[in-house]
């Protein structure tokens, strides 16, 4: 009798948590679970595997705590923005996870595809347009990538348009994690490593570009994150929803976003085929993201009505 009562209590508590979670929380927790299973299946090959599992458990616990902490003002401030904390931490793990899980690099195939399409290596061909001022500008723009969707989210939040805010955050998180899964499927380090012997001219900026590039290299280590181009995908998704939700911001992004996509190849981070894949991934996300979002919301509404 006591056990059955406890079971009902625990079930009702789980139901309460499920009803209060945001749709984006389900995506975030699903990614943590996928990574945990991936790490478990490759445990012996992954350095610090146990610590990464603990992190993913902690990330899920953190989301649940934010969801239940109704009376904690700090938790309620953090809750809408928790992906900003969790996404970069997940990204930083890819350096340790992707290669042990899939040790086959696809760079040779991607280089070959670029050459078939253009009859040249695009990063080498672009050397004719190298200019320190252009390099400086594009390096700064490239670095702004992570902040572009945050700015749109802030615009929506300040307008108190919480429905659009929640949906756009969902889109952004969904887009990031889909691209991360792509890195496991098609690992590639990118032309800055593989085509270095083909390049005749180094990239030089004016003031900040080389320092920024050095800091990015330190933060990312050697990431197999070339295919698909997440920079392209997230930038295009942000531009699309800026057009829908904040036309003024879209006109700013029309310059910055276009420059950013170009910078991925000019700065030798990506093959052109990565950018093409990023465009196709953007279209894929745009097709499925709203049905997924609405399905989660309908399921939650159904649970609440029972």
- The angle subtended at Cα 272 by Cα 189 and Cα 206, nearest 5°, is 75
CA distance linking residue 267 with residue 261, whole number of Å: 10
Q: Encoding tokens for residue 283?
A: 């279209």
Note the pLDDT tens digit of each residue in 293-303. 999 998 887 76
Q: Is 218 or 21 the better-scoring residue by pLDDT?
A: 21
pLDDT in the model for residue 305: 67
> Distance (Å, rounded) from C-alpha 12 to C-alpha 3?
14
Long-range contacts of 37-45 (CB under 8 A, 24+ apart): 38/97, 38/101, 38/184, 39/97, 42/100, 42/101, 45/100, 45/101
Residue 27: the pLDDT is: 97
Q: What is the DSSP letter of 106?
A: -
Report the residue count for the chain. 306
In the chain, what is the straight-line distance between the N-terminal and C-terminal CA atoms, in Å? 24
Q: Is 296 in contact with 26 (CB distance < 8 Å)?
A: yes
Tell me the average pLDDT of the chain: 92
- What does the pLDDT read at residue 1? 42
Q: What is the distance between the alpha carbons of residues 81 and 74, in angstroms, rounded to a whole number?
A: 12
How many other C-beta atoms can be found within 10 angstroms of the C-beta atom of residue 32? 23
In this structure, what token pair is assigned to residue 146? 């992570």
Return the pLDDT at 141.
95
**Cβ-proximal residues to 295 (8 Å cutoff; 6+ apart), any chain:** none
Whether residue 19 has pLDDT greater than 90: no
Lowest mean pLDDT among 19-23, 123-127, 163-167, 191-195: 19-23
Residues 26-54 have a mean pLDDT of 97
Half-sphere exposure of 150 (CA within 13 A, CB side): 11
In 3-state terms the chain splits into helix, strand, coil percentages (rounded to 5) of 80, 0, 20
Is the Cβ–Cβ distance between 231 and 267 less than 8 Å? no
- What is the percent of the chain with per-residue pLDDT over 70, rounded to a whole number? 93
d(CA 164, CA 227) in angstroms, rounded, equals: 29
Contact 191, 110 (CB under 8 A): no
Per-residue pLDDT at 2 exceeds 60: no
90, 180 contact by CB (below 8 A): yes
The single-letter DSSP state of residue 267 is T
The pLDDT tens digits for 153-181 are 999 999 999 999 999 999 999 999 999 99
pLDDT category of residue 12 using cuts at 50, 70 and 90: low
C-alpha 135/C-alpha 210 separation (Å) is 10
Residues 195-242: tens digit of each pLDDT: 999 999 989 888 878 887 778 776 677 789 999 999 999 999 999 999
Q: pLDDT: is 11 or 217 the higher one? A: 217
pTM score of the predicted model: 0.92
Mind giving me the DSSP string for 166-230? HHHHHHHHHHHHHHHHHHHHS----HHHHTTTT--S----SSSHHHHHHHHHHHH-S----SS-H
Confidence of residue 260 (pLDDT cuts 50, 70, 90): very high
Give the tens place of pLDDT for each residue, 65-109. 999 888 889 999 999 999 999 999 999 999 999 999 999 999 999
Residue 8 predicted with pLDDT over 70: no
């Amino acid at each position: 009798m006591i056990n059955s009562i406890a079971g009902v209590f625990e079930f009702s508590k789980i139901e309460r948590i499920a009803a209060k979670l945001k749709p984006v929380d389900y995506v975030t927790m699903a990614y943590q679970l996928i990574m945990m299973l991936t790490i478990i299946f490759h445990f012996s090959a992954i350095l610090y595997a146990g610590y990464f599992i603990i992190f993913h458990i902690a990330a899920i616990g953190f989301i649940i705590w934010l969801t239940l902490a109704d009376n904690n003002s700090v938790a309620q401030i953090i809750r809408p923005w928790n992906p900003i904390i969790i996404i970069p931490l997940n990204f930083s793990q890819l350096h340790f996870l992707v290669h042990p899980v899939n040790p086959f690099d696809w760079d040779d195939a991607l280089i070959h595809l670029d050459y078939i399409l253009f009859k040249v290596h695009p990063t080498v061909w672009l050397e004719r347009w190298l200019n320190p001022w252009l390099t400086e500008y594009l390096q700064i723009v490239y670095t702004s990538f992570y902040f572009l969707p945050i700015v749109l989210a802030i615009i929506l939040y300040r307008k108190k348009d919480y429905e659009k805010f929640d949906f756009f955050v969902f889109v952004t998180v969904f887009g990031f994690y889909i691209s991360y899964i792509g890195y496991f499927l098609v690992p590639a380090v990118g032309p800055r490593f593989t085509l270095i012997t083909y390049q005749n001219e180094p990239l030089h900026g004016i003031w900040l570009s080389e320092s920024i590039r050095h800091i990015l290299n330190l933060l990312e280590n050697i990431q197999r994150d070339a295919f698909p181009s997440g920079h392209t995908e997230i930038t295009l998704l942000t531009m699309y929803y800026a057009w829908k939700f904040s036309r003024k911001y879209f006109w700013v992004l029309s310059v910055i976003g276009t420059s950013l996509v170009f910078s991925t190849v000019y700065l030798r981070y990506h093959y052109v085929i990565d950018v093409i894949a990023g465009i196709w991934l953007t279209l894929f996300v745009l097709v499925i993201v709203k049905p997924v979002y609405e399905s989660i919301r309908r399921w939650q509404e159904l649970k609440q009505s029972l």
